[in-house]
A and B are shown apart, each in its own frame.
Chain A
Amino acid sequence: MTKRNVPLQVKNLCFDARGIRLIKDVSFDLTAGSRLMVLGANGAGKSLLMRLCHGLLVPHSGTVQWGEGQEGKMIQQAMVFQRPVMLRRTALANIAYGLKCKGVARRSRRDIAFDFLSRVGLARLANHPARLLSFGEQQRLALARAWAMEPDVLFMDEPTASLDPSATHAIEEITRLIAEEGTTIMMSTHDLGQAKRLGSDVLFLHRGRVLEQAGVQDFFQQPKNDLAQAFVRGELLWWKKKKDLYPGGGIEQIPSDRI
């Protein structure tokens, strides 16, 4: 069901905040129809990288190059955040709002919004104020709103980080449905099991650098990078003494064969 060619090429991306380089020379391709799982510890730069790709942040150097969408149209993107942002309206109106931004005609917004609300199992809460829904329901609603934008690429920033297993399961099922429609997914997660369940590829970040990009099976069976090996084994990377991780002693002195 792949819709398009390479939707996104990231080259030598760097991003600084308050004089500290947080994203360091990141390059990777996001291939159409893939489900790229961005893995890494806290502070590895996962959220930043997604925001840079989505255009919410401007890189200091490097390029984020979008390919062409269907029939030469611009690539449609949407993003779901770790903490769902709910407008102070009903659940239905939250989706309709997204449709309005997309330029969908007023008369068809309600029906489309209701359709997507039903797809995520929230039809009965259509007229409920969105901010009074449970956290799990809010995240489903956020996903429905993003889905209704019919994106070519959907960014998801740890969408299940504070959800219980049943709510996580619901989000994963919805994500799978969206992916089946041909939408390319780029999602960050801390949950290795989730990455295995959902992902087709893995991008492993550590302290702002991409240490490995591989197919999900290859990554979990035989990661090439030793930090990735430790990560996959479930070891806590921060627990390692710095000199073990970096024989040179400093962040900037990672031997080239490790990168």
Chain B
Amino acid sequence: MAEFWAAFAAAFDLIYGADDNLVGIVLLSLRVSLTAVLIAALIGLPLGALVGFLSFPGKKACVVVLNALMGLAPVVVGLLVYLALSRAGPLGVFGLLFTPMAMIIAQVILITPIIAALTRQVVEDLWGEYREQLTSLQCSTGQVVLTLLWDGRFSLFTAVLAGFGRASAEVGAVMIVGGNIDHVTRVMTTAIALEVSKGDLALALGLGIVLLTLSLGVNAIAYVLGEFARKRMGA
């Protein structure tokens, strides 16, 4: 039991002392996940908005597929990206395997469907409310998409945060395509997995605490934003 508490104490020491190794891992994690979220949002938001407001044959199937992709298993994504980026794969020539870029690609594939599916729902509800008014004002299609995205901004920010939460917490995909190389592709989740198996609980716990705090922070922001939207904008 004493060892258990000692691990916690050592973990707090690492965080408090801003241990180089720990800070490096945290910063790399943030760089990878934030870049992935940014790219996924640039693809997922307009994609979700178009599916939400256009009506086309096969739309229902499209929505089902999009929703199903939200639960994509990270290891499967990791495997597919690994195959694509490996020497023999179609994208092998770029030599991206075991680089942060490979991890970003895997996370983009993982969270784009989450952002797109949540956006689709938000935009579809909003379009139901706005359809007649915007048609009456003779808005162009581009204008409609921008309007729906802007007016759904608070809910959509929550969708993006959900994507970030998923990206920063997953381990399967980044482990496979990043390879958990020290100081190159070692992020919080892969480091925790490694340190636990090595028995270095202090670093694992330290990173775990940072990860939990991050998740708490993300949820707090989502909650505060939702309250703000409801009270101040009547959204």
Contact = CB atoms under 8 A, between A and B. Distances in A.
Given A56-B132, A129-B233, A132-B234, A87 B147 contact: yes
B132 A88 contact: no
A56 B151 CA distance: 22
Contact of A129 (B133, B135, B143, B232): B232
Given A81-B133, A85-B129, A87-B130, A101 B233 contact: no
B136 interface: yes
Contact of B151 (A51, A81, A89, A101): A89
A78 B132 CA distance: 11
Contacts of B62: none
B138 interface: yes
B143 A101 contact: yes
Nearest to B140: A101
A: interface residue count bin: 20 to 34
Nearest to B151: A88
A216 interface: no
A78 B136 contact: yes
A87 B138 CA distance: 15
Interface in A26-55: 51, 54-55
B9 interface: no
Interface in B157-171: none
B: interface residue count bin: 10 to 19
B234 A101 contact: no
Contacts of B232: 129, 132
Secondary structure of the A side of the interface?
mixed
B55 to A, nearest CB: 14
A85 B138 contact: no
Contacts of B143: 100-101
A88 B154 CA distance: 10
Contacts, number: 46
A102 B130 CA distance: 17
A130 B234 CA distance: 8
B235 A131 contact: yes
B32 to A, nearest CB: 33
A98 interface: yes
A149 interface: yes
B227 to A, nearest CB: 14
B7 to A, nearest CB: 48
A194 B136 CA distance: 25
B125 to A, nearest CB: 12
Nearest to B235: A88
Contacts of B136: 54, 56, 77-79
Contacts of B135: 55-56
B234 A88 contact: yes
A85 B130 contact: yes
A100 B134 CA distance: 12
A52 to B, nearest CB: 13
B93 interface: no
A13 to B, nearest CB: 19
Contacts of A149: 137
B139 interface: yes
A85 B234 contact: no
Contacts of A102: 137
Contacts of A130: 234
A131 to B, nearest CB: 3
Contact of A81 (B132, B233, B234): B132
Contacts of A87: 130, 147, 151
Interface string A99-140: 011100000000000000000000000000111100000000
A97 B143 CA distance: 10
Contacts of A51: 132
Given A101-B138, A101-B139, A85 B133 contact: yes
Interface string A52-90: 001110000000000000000000011101000111110
A87 B130 CA distance: 8
Nearest to B129: A85
A77 B136 CA distance: 8
Among A88, A98, A100: residue with most chain B CB under 10 A? A88
A129 B151 CA distance: 12
Given A101-B139, A129-B232, 4 more contacts: A56-B136, A77-B136, A88-B233, A89-B151
Q: Kindly list the 6 A-B residue pairs having the minimum CB-CB distance in the complex, ordered from nearest.
A: A131-B234, A85-B133, A101-B137, A88-B151, A132-B234, A79-B136
